C-alpha cells in the first residue's frame, strides 16, 4: 500500500475535505491504484534534469504601476453566501 486510510484522512483534512466512513475504503484503494501507476516514473533516471514548471518561455510580464478601476463593493459582495454590510460574514473563529 502506498497510502493508508489514516493518511487519506490526514490529507483530506489538509485539503479541508471529509469523507463518510463507508467511502474511505474504496477511495483509498483507488488512490493506491493511481499512485502505483505513477511508480513507473521511478524507472527513469532524471539526475541533473532541470524540472519544467511552465509551458512557456520564462520571462517577467511587467506593466506600468498605474491605478486602474477595480470591482466596487456591490459587485464584490454580490455572490457572497452571507454578506453583512461591507463584509463577508463567517462563523465565529475565536471563542
Partner 1 sequence: MELYELTVHELHEKLVSGETTAREVLDAYYRRIEAVEDRVHAYISLMKETAYAQAEEADRSIREGRIGPLTGVPIALKDICCTRGFPTTCASRILENFRPPYDATVVARLRAAGAVFTGKTNMDEFAMGSSTETSYFGVTRNPWDLERIPGGSSGGSAAAVAADECAAAIGSDTGGSIRQPAALCGVVGMKPTYGRVSRFGLVAFASSLDQIGPFTKDVRDCAILMNVIAGHDPRESTSVPVEIPDYRAFLDRSVEGWKIGIPREYFMEGIDPEVRAAVEGAARALEGSGAKLIEVSLPHTKYCVAVYYIIAPAEASSNLARYDGVRYGFRAEDPRDLLEMYKKTRSAGFGAEVKRRIIIGTYVLSSGYYEAYYKKASQVRALIREDFDRVFALCDVILTPTTPTAAFRLGEKLDDPIQMYLSDIFTISANLAGIPGISVPCGFTGEGLPVGVQFLAPHFEEGRLIQIGSALSTLMPREVRRPRL
Give the binding site for partner 1 (CB under 8 A): 3, 7-8, 11-12, 14-19, 27, 30-31, 33-35, 37-38, 40-42, 44, 46, 49-56, 61, 63, 71, 75-76, 78-82, 88, 90-93
Q: Phi and psi for 73 in degrees, rounded to 5?
A: -60, -45
DSSP H helical ranges for the chain: 5-14, 21-38, 73-77
- CB neighbours of 83 closer than 8 A, spacing ≥ 6? 77, 89
Rounded to a whole number of angstroms, the minimum distance from the CB of residue 70 to partner 1 is 10
Rounded to a whole number of angstroms, the minimum distance from the CB of residue 10 to partner 1 is 9
- Cα gap 24→21, rounded to integer Å: 5
Nearer to partner 1 by C-beta: 40 or 67? 40
Rounded to a whole number of angstroms, the minimum distance from the CB of residue 6 to partner 1 is 13
Amino acid at each position: 500500500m502506498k497510502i493508508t486510510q489514516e493518511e487519506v484522512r490526514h490529507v483530506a483534512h489538509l485539503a479541508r475535505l471529509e469523507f463518510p466512513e463507508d467511502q474511505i475504503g474504496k477511495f483509498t484503494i483507488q488512490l493506491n491504484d493511481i499512485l502505483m501507476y505513477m511508480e513507473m516514473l521511478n524507472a527513469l533516471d532524471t539526475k541533473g534534469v532541470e524540472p519544467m514548471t511552465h509551458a512557456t518561455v520564462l520571462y517577467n510580464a511587467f506593466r506600468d504601476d498605474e491605478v486602474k478601476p477595480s470591482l466596487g463593493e456591490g459587485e464584490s459582495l454580490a455572490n457572497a453566501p452571507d454578506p453583512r454590510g461591507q463584509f463577508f460574514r463567517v462563523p465565529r473563529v475565536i471563542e
